[in-house]
Chains A and B, each alone.
Chain A
Amino acid sequence: MTMDAALSSHLQELRRGTVVVASLTVLREPGYGYSLLETLAAAGFEVEANTLYPLLRRLESQGLLTSAWNTDEARPRKFYTTTPEGNAVASALRTEWTRLNLAIGDLDTPGSPS
């Protein structure tokens, strides 16, 4: 495996869980699949449509999102909203993210008090 291939596979590993945190956080305001994809892309999350759409349904089946069809506009869209449970999970994940970030920072600067 070349260096580039190794790096890209490690990056993929590292990013894997972040889409869930980002989606649950963004969807505190109701949103539909394509809008979320745009928002995440603009925020710098590399996520593909064929990963995101099934993920939304999975999060819904886990009770972390609810959905409702909005037929007011010409194109009916399924809007997802983060549930209170989803909020709690997202907040726990963000706490863990912060903790990991600090821990890695500590490892990176040896000798500093932790």
Chain B
Amino acid sequence: MTTLIDRYVTTALRRIPEGQRADIDRELRASIEDAVEARVDAGATHDAAVESTLLELGDPDRLADRYSDRPQHLIGPELYPAWRRMMTMLFTVVLPIVVIVTTVIQLIDDPAIGKVIGGMVTTIISVGTHMGFWTTGTFALLERVGLDQRALRGPWTPADLPEYEPTRLGRSQLVPNVAWPVLLIAGLVLQQFTFTDVPVLDPANWSFWWPYLIVVLGFEIAWAIWVYRTGVYTRAIAAANAVLALLVAAPVVWLAVGGHVFNPAFPGLAPGGEPLYWASLAVMATFAITALWDIVEIAVRAERSRRGLPVQVPGTGGL
């Protein structure tokens, strides 16, 4: 029959490197027996003495960790900030990109709504799990081989600080704000003449809607210059942005609902066909979501700048 002491020592030794086991075995037993003896001398029964001695030594796994000087955490304070930044980046930037790309591929391959939604959910769960697991596993391994933050990215310097949006918006904001409407106008005009033999978009809309869109997109360019010259997002700018976003998105969504966005003569996009339905749905979703995103984002920026809160510039601040 094994005694409580045997069981305790054996349990503790399980988690101690082979080479140290024999020595720790002897020493730990001697120490426990010394303590038991002292308690018996003080008047306790043998069983009670063993019990209280082992209770005082505590969880044998914990004791073993102390003997082998093993970290009692998966990722310690040295690596945790880098791990957290990496996870944030993976889940807010990489995962959405992967989901969008796989969804687009699925839409092209087989645009059945059930498969598209199922594919999105599967991608989010499987890619998210893999990213979380492998990142955490790598960091836990780094923790155990003793690589610290300095080895990963050098010591922290003030240059690692993130940049925040300056009070005055610079050219970095002007360029994309102007580039988008210009590209859309160019795409709208050029698809009529160059990209394909038959234009992709319905030429019937040149009677009103395509010129109308070009005019509104022209206002978007004017808005971008207004933002640049004002230097901050104000409530008026946010309101104008919302109006312009709706003036672009609402007619396009309306045209898409009626099936009037695409050229009925374009190969494969015949009226009543399945491809036309999905292409129209994609246009609808893209314009509606983009407009909503744009309205909210600019409103948030305007509100933050009104309160004087800084906004972190994406891509700065390091790993």
CB-defined contacts of B153 to chain A, threshold 8 Å:
none
Instruction: Out of B26, B33, B58, B63, name the residue touching A78 (CB < 8 Å).
Output: B26
Known contacts A78-B26, A78-B27: does B34 contact A51 (CB below 8 Å)? no
The segment from A1-9, A52-60, A88-96, A102-110 found at the interface with B is A52-60
Instruction: Out of B24, B33, B57, B67, name the residue touching A49 (CB < 8 Å).
Output: B57
CB-defined contacts of A69 to chain B, threshold 8 Å:
26
- Determine how close the nearest CB of chain A comes to the CB of B277; give it in whole angstroms: 61
User: Which residues of B1-58 are within 8 A (CB) of A?
Assistant: 23-24, 26-28, 30-31, 33-35, 38, 56-58
CB-defined contacts of A49 to chain B, threshold 8 Å:
31, 35, 56-57
Instruction: Please give the number of chain B residues whose Cβ is less than 8 angstroms from any Cβ of chain A in the complex.
Output: 19
| Nearest-neighbor residue (CB-CB) of A54 within chain B | B66
Instruction: Out of B33, B38, B63, B69, name the residue touching A50 (CB < 8 Å).
Output: B63
Majority SS at the chain B contact face: helix
Does B62 sit within 8 A of A, measured CB to CB? yes
- Determine how close the nearest CB of chain A comes to the CB of B297; give it in whole angstroms: 40
Instruction: Please give the number of chain A residues whose Cβ is less than 8 angstroms from any Cβ of chain B in the complex.
Output: 19
- Determine how close the nearest CB of chain A comes to the CB of B20; give it in whole angstroms: 8
User: Which residues of B265-311 are within 8 A (CB) of A?
Assistant: none
B58 to A32, Cβ gap below 8 A? no
B58 to A77, Cβ gap below 8 A? no
- Determine how close the nearest CB of chain B comes to the CB of A62; give it in whole angstroms: 11
Binding site for B on A (CB under 8 A): 32-35, 37-38, 48-51, 53-54, 57-58, 69, 75-78
Binding site for A on B (CB under 8 A): 23-24, 26-28, 30-31, 33-35, 38, 56-58, 62-63, 66-67, 69
